[in-house]
């Protein structure tokens, strides 16, 4: 399938650039494209042109464009949409996506818009707003078909035929008279079952489910582990509250992967094409504070060892080499562990064994790198003792770096924080300081009389 977006973007530019009002052309062009693609190209147009595009979309398309646009573009569109237009779009959206949109509005605007939304939908949105957006409750939709245990296959099919708004009808969840989740049937089970048979007789009782408060990352892991396209969400009394569908699960996986990656690189999410330079720099600077503070500390450590460096200036030659290796091996270690935690691999293994294993790997790598460093130093014709110091410092520095890089993420996780926070610049900074401290201690001990 060819990417339709570049052409859509070009045609929109042409139509919007012309002096005449070409509403029919615009409606025709937008009608021939998916609203997801319209959402994607929206970002490339300045606000007044976005308004003209929005004015030519129906409420359903407006809803999809709002759902699918990136954050900055979405906020821009919300600024200009009239409350009536927005309310009509919200009527057409899933209540979960609707709640996400309402969340973005200032409180007064939100109330104004919700007052104009259809009663059922407004009530559903208000209920969803009670949940933390990063939990199953915040991600679930409440538009789904709920079957009673006693319903026959024929009645169940009738219920689906009547449920025009339901997002997800491929897995149908079965509840008892109290709304407690009892089982699941697939639409295919329904059409192959004898019409008069009650669903309780052929439903599967073994349902993969989650509770409203479960972290969204955990939900995505469940879906991945059991290869299900949707997961029902229950409250504390096991009553069915909603369903999380495959598209939300995919979004969560993408979002969490992005979060890990950016934390590792020590930055907040920024958009290189849609945010002004000043805001991009502002978002990155706080993350650089540890590196800056670490840099100052490193300078102070060197300042304190001034006399030694002055006596044997060759000591300074190998500082960046040592810091670089410690940083990189540490980053490898912590990233491997953060991934293993994300995939659940560490689940049942004793943590001391994990740390011991990683330190073993580090010691082995450190020994090899130490030999390389000592050889390089010797080849460079620096004073005899320095090669030895560099080699020993490399072995101990790299080994210590792997130790810190495995203990830190595990400790953060135990403290309930995100282990990925320990994998990025914070770790590199700590490792830089540790490695150079080790280096100068060894140099001080072995080269006293240098």
Restricted to residues 210-239, the positions that interact with a second copy (CB under 8 A) are 210-211, 222-227, 229
Q: How far is the CB of 288 from a second copy (least distance, A)?
A: 6
Residue found under tokens 């700590």: 430
Please say which residue, 115 or 265, places its beta carbon nearer to a second copy: 265
Question: No. of H helices and E strands in the chain?
Answer: 22, 6
> Of these, 48, 106, 347, 416, which contacts a second copy (CB under 8 A)?
347
CA R_g for the chain: 30
Which of these ranges, 21-29, 76-84, 105-113, 336-344, lies near a second copy under the rule CB under 8 A?
336-344
CA 272, 275, 276, 278 dihedral sign is negative
> Of these, 62, 139, 216, 358, which contacts a second copy (CB under 8 A)?
358
> Of these, 209, 434, 438, 443, which contacts a second copy (CB under 8 A)?
209
> Of these, 12, 87, 337, 404, which contacts a second copy (CB under 8 A)?
337
Residues from 177 through 206 that contact a second copy (CB under 8 A): 187-188, 191-192, 206
Work out the end-to-end distance of the chain between its first and last CA atoms, rounded to an integer number of angstroms: 70
CA distances from 181 to 144, 172, 232, 234 (A): 13, 11, 9, 7
Which of these ranges, 21-29, 74-82, 85-93, 280-288, lies near a second copy under the rule CB under 8 A?
280-288
Please say which residue, 202 or 317, places its beta carbon nearer to a second copy: 317
Please say which residue, 114 or 252, places its beta carbon nearer to a second copy: 252
> Of these, 53, 128, 203, 329, which contacts a second copy (CB under 8 A)?
329
Residue found under tokens 């979309």: 57
Please say which residue, 112 or 280, places its beta carbon nearer to a second copy: 280
Q: Side by side, which strands form the sheet with 240-245?
A: 210-211, 230-234, 240-245
- Residue 352 as a binder of a second copy (CB under 8 A): the answer is no
Q: How far is the CB of 353 from a second copy (least distance, A)?
A: 8
Please say which residue, 47 or 269, places its beta carbon nearer to a second copy: 269
Residues from 250 through 279 that contact a second copy (CB under 8 A): 250-251, 253-254, 257-258, 260-262, 264-267, 269-274, 277-278
Separation CA 335–CA 405 (nearest Å): 9
Q: How far is the CB of 398 from a second copy (least distance, A)?
A: 10
Which of these ranges, 36-44, 55-63, 76-84, 106-114, lies near a second copy under the rule CB under 8 A?
36-44
CB contact set of 430 (below 8 Å; sequence gap of 6+) = 294, 404, 408
CB contact set of 259 (below 8 Å; sequence gap of 6+) = 269, 418, 420
- Given a contact cutoff of 8 angstroms between Cβ atoms, the answer to whether 404 and 268 are in contact is no
Residues from 70 through 99 that contact a second copy (CB under 8 A): 70
Q: What is the dihedral of CA 204, 94, 104, 63, to 10 degrees?
A: 150
> Of these, 78, 89, 128, 249, which contacts a second copy (CB under 8 A)?
249
Residues from 151 through 180 that contact a second copy (CB under 8 A): 157, 160-161, 169-170
Q: How far is the CB of 233 from a second copy (least distance, A)?
A: 11
Q: How many residues bind a second copy (CB under 8 A)?
A: 129
Report the phi/psi class of residue 309: left, alpha or beta, with left for phi > 0 and alpha for psi in -120 to 50. alpha
Residues from 385 through 444 that contact a second copy (CB under 8 A): 423, 425, 428-429, 432, 436
> Of these, 12, 99, 175, 331, which contacts a second copy (CB under 8 A)?
331
Which of these ranges, 18-26, 83-91, 101-109, 309-317, lies near a second copy under the rule CB under 8 A?
309-317
CB contact set of 377 (below 8 Å; sequence gap of 6+) = 317, 318, 386, 387, 390, 391
Please say which residue, 48 or 272, places its beta carbon nearer to a second copy: 272
Residues from 113 through 132 that contact a second copy (CB under 8 A): none
- Residue 142 as a binder of a second copy (CB under 8 A): the answer is no
- Given a contact cutoff of 8 angstroms between Cβ atoms, the answer to whether 319 and 439 are in contact is yes
Furthest CA-CA distance within the chain: 96
Q: Give me 301's structure tokens.
A: 């450590």
Q: How far is the CB of 277 from a second copy (least distance, A)?
A: 4
Three-class HEC string of 285-352: HHHHHHHHHHHHHHHHHHHHCHHHHHHCCHHHHCHHHHHHHHHHHHHHHHHHHHHHHHCCCCCCCCHH
Q: Give me 397's structure tokens.
A: 């520095």
Please say which residue, 278 or 415, places its beta carbon nearer to a second copy: 278
Separation CA 83–CA 114 (nearest Å): 9
Q: How far is the CB of 449 from a second copy (least distance, A)?
A: 19
């Amino acid at each position: 399938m060819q990417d339709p977006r570049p052409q859509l973007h070009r045609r929109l530019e042409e139509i919007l650039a012309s002096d005449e009002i070409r509403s029919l052309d615009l409606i025709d062009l937008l009608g021939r494209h998916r609203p997801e693609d319209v959402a994607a190209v929206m970002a490339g147009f300045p606000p007044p042109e976005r308004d003209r595009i929005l004015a030519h979309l129906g409420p359903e398309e407006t809803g999809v464009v709002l759902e699918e646009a990136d954050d900055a573009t979405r906020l821009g569109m919300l600024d200009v949409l009239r409350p009536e237009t927005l309310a009509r779009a919200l009527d057409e959206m899933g209540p979960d996506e609707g709640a996400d949109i309402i969340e973005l509005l200032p409180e007064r605007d939100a109330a104004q818009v919700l007052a104009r939304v259809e009663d059922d939908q407004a009530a559903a949105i208000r209920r969803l707003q009670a949940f933390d957006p990063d939990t199953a409750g915040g991600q679930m939709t409440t538009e789904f078909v709920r079957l009673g245990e006693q319903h026959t296959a024929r009645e169940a099919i009738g219920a689906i035929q009547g449920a025009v708004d339901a997002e997800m009808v491929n897995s149908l969840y079965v509840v008892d008279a109290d709304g407690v989740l009892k089982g699941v049937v697939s639409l295919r089970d329904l059409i192959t079952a004898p019409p008069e048979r009650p669903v309780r007789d052929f439903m599967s009782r073994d349902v993969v489910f989650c509770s409203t408060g479960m972290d969204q990352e955990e939900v995505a892991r469940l879906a991945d582990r059991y290869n299900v396209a949707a997961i029902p969400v229950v409250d504390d009394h096991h009553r069915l509250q909603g369903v999380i569908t495959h598209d939300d699960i995919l979004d969560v996986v993408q979002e969490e992967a992005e979060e890990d990656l950016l934390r590792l690189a020590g930055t907040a999410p920024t958009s290189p094409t849609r945010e002004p330079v000043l805001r991009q720099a502002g978002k990155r600077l706080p993350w650089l504070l540890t590196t800056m503070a670490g840099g100052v500390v490193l300078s102070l450590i060197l300042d304190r060892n001034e006399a030694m460096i002055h006596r044997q200036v060759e000591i300074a030659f190998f500082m960046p080499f040592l810091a670089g290796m410690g940083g990189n091996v540490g980053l490898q270690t912590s990233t491997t562990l953060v991934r293993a935690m994300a995939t659940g691999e560490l689940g049942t293994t004793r943590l001391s064994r994990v740390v011991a294993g990683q330190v073993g790997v580090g010691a082995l790598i450190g020994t090899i790198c130490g030999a390389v460093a000592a050889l390089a130093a010797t080849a460079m014709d620096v004073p005899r003792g320095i090669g030895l110091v560099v080699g020993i410092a490399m072995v101990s520095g790299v080994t210590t770096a792997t130790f810190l890089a495995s203990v830190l993420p595990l400790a953060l996780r135990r403290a309930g924080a995100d282990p990925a926070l320990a994998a990025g610049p914070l770790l590199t900074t700590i490792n830089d300081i540790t490695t150079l401290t080790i280096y100068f201690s060894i140099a001080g001990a072995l080269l006293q009389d240098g």
